[in-house]
Structure 1
C-alpha cells in the first residue's frame, strides 16, 4: 500500500483433512480513491504431502554465472509447477528449506521432462485448480468455511439473499463431481432450510454422542458442523469410549463418521435404540416396496 501498487496478492496455507489448501487473497486499489478492497480470494486443494514448517517449493536452474543457480521459491504447488514447466533448458522442481536441503520432485534436461517422483506424479499431471470465493462488503464465506467447501463438506449460511433481495438460510456445498463453469469454478448446490428438510438438531438427537449431554458442548458441536468442520466426538464402541470425526450431510439428512485414520465408520452402530428400530423398519419397508415393484 505504501508503494501505491494498483493491486497485490497475499498467500496463505492451511492443512486440512485431505491435504494442504493454498489460499490467494486479492487486494485491488479503487480507481476513485487510495482505498484498497478485498473482493475475492481463491482456495485450491493440494492433496499431496503438505509443506512442513519452513519448507517451500523450489525451482532450480543454472545461472549465467558459472557454478551458481537461480532459485525460485513458491508456497503454492500450482505456481511452482507452472514456473518449472516454462523452462527451456535444465531445471529441477524440489521441496525443502533451501537448495542445500531439498527433495527432488521433478527434473528436465534441455526442456524435456526426464523425471517425476511417483508420489508427486498425479499432482504434477493435474495441478489443483483454484475455486474463487467472492466477498461483498465484508460478507461471504470465511477462510475456514472455504477450506471445508473445497474438501467437499457443506456449510450453513443464514445471510443469503435471493435475486429479489429476500433473506434465506441454506446449507451450501460445492458440486465437486460436476463440471466447472466458464470461469473454471465448481457450481454450488443449495439445500434450503427448512424447506429441504434437514434438521441438524433432530438428526443429532438420533445418536448416542457424549458431547450432546452438555448444553455448552452441544452448542459448540452444532456450530462446528454448521461451519462445515469435521469435529471430533465421543461415542461408545464395543463397550469402550472412542473418538471419531463427524460431518453433516444435508443432502441425505444424515451424518458421516470417520475414525482417526480417515476410515469410514457405520453410523448405525451409534444410533439410539429407538432410532435404530425406526431405521430398520424404514429399511424393511423399502425392501417390501422394491419386491412388489419387481413383481416378487
Structure 2
C-alpha cells in the first residue's frame, strides 16, 4: 500500500515537472513568434458600404491592427491623410481592407464639360517655376514650320488641378480646359517644337507686407531729391532783374543832364 502511494506520488511529481516544462516551451515559442511578427500597426478598412467614385469620408472607415510583418507600406493605408480627397475605384463592403491601388484623387472640375490634360516635364515641355495645385499658368508655344519660326501665347490663365514636383524640379501638372480646347492642347503637346509653362502673375496686391513697405520707402526716398530740386529754381530767376536797374539809373541821369544844360543857357 505504501509502495503504491509512493509510486503515485512519483508519477504525480513527474507529470507536474513535464507539464511545467511543456508550458515553458510553449511560452517561449509564443514569444519567439511575437518577436518575429513585431508590433501591431493600424490599417484602414471600410466601415460599411462605400460606393465607387464617391469621396471617402472619415466616418466611412475604421482601423484594424495587424502585425508589422504583414504590413505592406506601398499598399496598406496607415493614416487618414492618405484617404482625404480620394475616391474608390470599386465598391467596398464592411470590413474590406483599403489599399492604395483601390483609390485615386477626386477630380473637382469647374464644369462637367471640362477636361483634364496632363503635361509632363520633358525636353519639349519645361516649367519656369514651381507650380502647385490650384495655381494658374500661361502656356507659351514655339513652332518652326519650314523656317517660319513663331512663339505665341497659346493659352492664358489656365487652372492647374494637380501638380507633382518641388523646388528640385517639376514632374508634371494637369490643367483644366474646355472640351474644345483639349484637342488643340494635345495637338500642340505632340507636334510643337517647344512648350514653356509660366506661372501666372499673382499681382502686386498679394505681395507680403514687408515687401510693400520697403517698396513704399524706396519710392519716398526717390521722391525726396525731386522735391528738394524745386526750390533751387527760384534763386536762378532772382539775379535776372539786377542788370535792369543800371538802365533805369542811366535814363534818370539823362534828364538831369538836360536840365543842367538849359540852366546854363539861361
Structure number with larger C-alpha Rg: 2
TM-score, normalization by structure 1: 0.23
Larger fraction in strand: 1
What is the TM-score of this pair, normalised by structure 2? 0.25
Considering Cα pairs closer than 8 Å and 6+ residues apart, tell me whether 1 or 2 has the greater RCO.
Answer: 2
